[in-house]
Amino acid sequence: MESILFLAAPITACFLLSGILGYFGNHILSRGVIFVDIAVAQVAALGTMIGILLGANEGSLFSSLFSLGFTLIIVSAFAISKFKHKEFSQEVIIGIIYCMALAGAMVMVDMVSGGSNFIQKTITGAVLWVTWKDILVIFLIFLIVFLFHLVFLKRFIKISQGNRDSFHPSELRLLELVFYISFGIVVVQSVKIGGIFMVFMYLIGPAAMTLFITENWKNRFILSWIFGFGGSIIGLVISFIYNFPNGPAIVCTLGLMLIIIPLFSNNKKQSSLVSHKMD
């Protein structure tokens, strides 16, 4: 009973993270900007480090605002650059952003008290030690983002499917800006709990699994949530029993699921996945 009570908060956090990140992951995967999430997560971590360097405490409102501010600037610049420099590969921009954010964090690691521990925590996460206060905060933020996306859901799906010609350029630019800003807000909050690797796997892993099973967007959202949460429970139990780091345990579990699930899918769905990626 004590173990169940101890794991209740981490399990709830994984339930929320797998839901919202699974939703965004299907959009990110369909848009072909797979590594934008890990770049945004690294930028969020860099913003927090700068806040700490300026005197803020880790987890304080001041450091969180720095993290959010840096992230919103980057995602806004990324959304706008998609229209101003269409001939420039998005993956190039994402790669440059990630390398610069990582290099900036490495430069400041010795300037920040406990910088090495902070870097490790940012990468691996600390979901096992999440509090109910943390859960309440992310629940409210995720709920607002979710309700907001419900209003624009059909339009966001159209854009993710590549049907951009049905929108006026100014409307498309605004929708893209709104999408990536809301995505940045979710990533900032998620990295605080799950860490960069876990957030990346939540976004891409479950969404990739669903492509072997269905092409229906509603089913993809639901299955992503189920796969992400199911893998989280297995990873948490393994980490708790064998004293493994919780974040890496969840990441490895989801990675193994991504390897196993295609083995049980039919050839038609696999061919559909290949065609989808080529498009």
Predicted local confidence at residue 228, as pLDDT: 96
**Residue 149 CA, distance from chain mean position:** 16
The HSE-up count of residue 43 (CA atoms within 13 Å, CB side) is: 26
3-state helix, strand, coil in the chain (%, to 5): 85, 0, 15
**pTM across the whole model:** 0.84
**How much is the pLDDT for 279?**
46
* Spatial distance between the Cα atoms of 94 and 35, rounded to a whole number of angstroms: 7
Handedness of CA 205, 206, 211, 215 (dihedral sign): negative
- Rounded to 5 degrees, φ, ψ at 110 are -85, -10
Q: Which of 220, 222, 231 is nearest to 269 (CA)?
A: 220
Determine the pLDDT at residue 77: 77
Task: Report, in angstroms and rounded to the nearest whole number, the Rg of the chain calculated over CA atoms.
Answer: 19
**For every residue of 148-204, which 3-state class applies, written as one string?**
HHHHHHHHHHHHHCCCCCCCCHHHHHHHHHHHHHHHHHHHHHHHHHHHHHHHHHHHH
Q: What is the pLDDT of residue 64?
A: 78
Euclidean distance between CA atoms 14 and 185, whole angstroms: 17
Counting as low any pLDDT under 70, the low residues of the chain are 1, 59, 81-90, 114-115, 266-279
The CATH code for residues 2-278 is 1.10.3470.10
pLDDT value of position 278: 40
